[in-house]
Chain A
Amino acid sequence: MSPEAPPRRARAADPRLDTVPPPPADAATKSAGDRSSVRPPYLLDFFPLESERETRLHRFYERLAEGRLSTTRCPKEGTLHWPPRTACPSCHTEELEWVDLPERGTIYAFSAVLAGAPLGMEADLPFAVGLVDLDGAPLRLFGRIEGASYTDLRIGETVRVESYEVGDGRVFYRFRAGPGPGGPPVA
């Protein structure tokens, strides 16, 4: 990894504690459709552990918290990876660099989950998901698509990348359809 500023927020103050801090009181209202304020047990939680003491990819989440979707690139070959990596799958160098990704993309395929949601996502039903070709980057990312009913989405439609707070200090990314206001702009 290329050297970069240290993480700007530390989450779990005491590393001996095997818990995360309780979510802020307004967490449930920060973004519609997100999880309730009750965090599921780690082994039933799809959202990853994001801090520096839990993953070598913590910069991905730190940049995401600033509204920047990013990934790793191999400096030797210029290849973009998805998901971000700690070693290049082609030349196996571990000296990778972080790059920001485009903030817009085009829907390649989509569907919706109308029933059968995993634990913690039942209240989200129905929700749309899709594969999105990022504009100007050779990556086709899978993700939740907010901001429109699946019946109104179309292949070829433009969507925006946005980051959001999971509700307990963690962040994740998703797509938002239509021209309306989304999350913080992506750099």
Chain B
Amino acid sequence: MSGRAVALVGGATTRFGVRPTTWAEMAQEAGAALFRAIPELRADECDSLFVGAAEPERFAFQSHVAPLAAEQMGLRPRRILQRTELACASGQSAIRSAYAAIAAGLSDIAVAVGVEKMNLPSMAEANSAMGCVMDRPWDGPHGATAPPFFAMVAQRHMLEYGTTEEQLAAVSEKNHRFANTNPTAQFYAKSFTRDKLLRLPLVAPPLRLGDCSSMTDGAAAVLLVGEEFASRFTDTPVWVRGTGQYSDFHNLANAGSLTDWVGLKHAAREALGRAGITVRDLDLAEIHDCFTISEIVEYEALGLCGPGEGGPFAADGRGDVGGDLVVNPRGGLLGCGHPLGATGIGQAVEVYQQFAHQVPPSRQAPDPEWALVHNLSGSANVHSVMVYGRGRAA
């Protein structure tokens, strides 16, 4: 990749869950956690701040959140201050924007923070906020939210390929088991066997409660720096080696195949190509398991297995420790919860900690060289991919 090399040099995640705290308080909490995680960092040297936030207007009745987050975190950005919104991929968008700014020489030391407050006293209002992610005046009046859309993906995948509820449960069991090693996860210290998952109530058939990520409050922050600054903050920098995005529709009528996520294929090809590797080189992947079926379709679109083979890939543990690569060791969206703006940042924190061998052995990818992070947003109509490497670009 051309341009200045950019390193991810640390980060931190707040507790994810149903939190008795506000949007602004979580921004403070993420800032405090970031400065604890990187003791060498001084607030006055952070020249830029990128704030991933999907729907603060809806969930917290608050716009103009970038300066709000800066004040909460004790930062005074003097180069770039910006909010990024891409629904479920808002956090990764903050990281991508920070990367682009640093690579272009417009920033040297940038913080990317993601914050989302989603739990409200009225669940119906929170559900309305989620419905706005769709094409509101056309799909919204029918009651379109994420669960029925991804349920149709699961229905078609079962019809076309024979995918089973048990294979969906295998994804959920793995990610909840990983979440049990992550004290920041919403479902930390909660056990979900496959049998238990298959007895949970249906939310949008064939998807059950355990097939769906939750409404979650949480925040996370990472530090990205230009190559000449990396060694000041860490001995184990992780290098941004590739990015890619693709979007080809918004209204559900224009989705095309529900089971072949062409946009992810394009985004992954772009990101892996920029890194100069193939999917076989990956040691770990943090991919967007907003629903169990999403992880299965993503295995296929990423080329980790063939079309229709995602169910067996899950059931055979090929995305587990000891498999082809470790998928969602953080616990995924299923286990950690999915605070929209914070998710992509939390995934990057996991990648940093995996490369630094700071995670428990039961979820550690062996000596990782390459990692991929993926977020979809909305009805899988946008795919965003980043590739991280242990080595700086040659």
Contacts and interface: CB of A to CB of B under 8 A. Distances in A.
A116 B203 contact: yes
Contact of B148 (A111, A155, A166): A111
Interface stretch (A16-24, A127-135, A178-186): A127-135
A104 interface: no
Given A82-B254, A139-B253, A140-B253, A116 B142 contact: no
Interface in B238-262: 251-255, 258
A63 B59 CA distance: 36
A122 B145 CA distance: 13
A172 to B, nearest CB: 5
Contacts of B139: 142
A130 B155 CA distance: 11
Contacts of B138: 48, 83, 142
A182 to B, nearest CB: 16
Given A119-B127, A131-B152, A114 B144 contact: no
B141 A122 contact: no
A interface majority secondary structure? mixed
A58 interface: no
Given A46-B128, A112-B148, A118 B143 contact: yes
Interface string B197-234: 00001111111000000000000000000000000000
A129 B143 CA distance: 8
A99 interface: no
A112 B206 CA distance: 9
A113 B159 contact: no
B155 A118 contact: no
A50 to B, nearest CB: 9
Interface string A147-158: 000100001000
Interface residues of A, number: 37
A118 B131 contact: yes
A87 interface: no
A142 B143 CA distance: 10
A114 B135 CA distance: 21
B205 A150 contact: yes
A122 B137 contact: no
Contact of B143 (A48, A109, A124, A139): A124
A44 B58 CA distance: 9
Contacts of A110: 152, 155
Contacts of B255: 131, 140
Given A47-B141, A48-B137, A155-B159, A114 B205 contact: yes
Most chain B CB atoms below 10 A, which of A108, A118, A130 = A118
B124 interface: yes
Nearest to A145: B142
B142 A174 contact: yes
Contacts of B159: 155
Q: Bin chain B's interface residue count.
A: 35 or more
A143 interface: yes
A113 B148 contact: yes
Contact of A44 (B123, B125, B148, B205): B125
Nearest to B259: A109
B156 interface: yes
B147 interface: yes
A116 B136 contact: no
A122 B128 CA distance: 11
B122 interface: yes
A113 B252 CA distance: 16
B350 to A, nearest CB: 28
B312 interface: no
A111 B151 CA distance: 6
A122 B207 CA distance: 19
B205 A117 contact: no
A110 B122 CA distance: 27
A144 interface: yes
B140 interface: yes
B143 A121 contact: yes
B28 to A, nearest CB: 28
A143 B128 CA distance: 17
Contacts of A130: 152
Given A44-B128, A111-B204, A112-B204, A83 B144 contact: no
A110 B135 CA distance: 18
Interface string A90-111: 0000000000000000001111
A113 B204 contact: yes
B6 to A, nearest CB: 35
Interface string A69-97: 00000000000001100000000000000
A176 B5 CA distance: 57
* List of 7 A-B pairs having minimum Cβ-Cβ separation, nearest first: A111-B151, A48-B137, A46-B140, A109-B152, A142-B252, A118-B128, A119-B124
26 contacts: A46-B136, A46-B137, A46-B141, A47-B141, A48-B141, A83-B253, A108-B156, A109-B156, A111-B148, A111-B204, A112-B204, A114-B201, A116-B147, A117-B124, A118-B124, A118-B130, A121-B143, A129-B143, A129-B148, A139-B253, A140-B253, A142-B253, A144-B141, A144-B143, A155-B155, A155-B159
Interface of B: 122-125, 127-128, 130-131, 135-145, 147-148, 151-152, 155-156, 159, 201-207, 251-255, 258
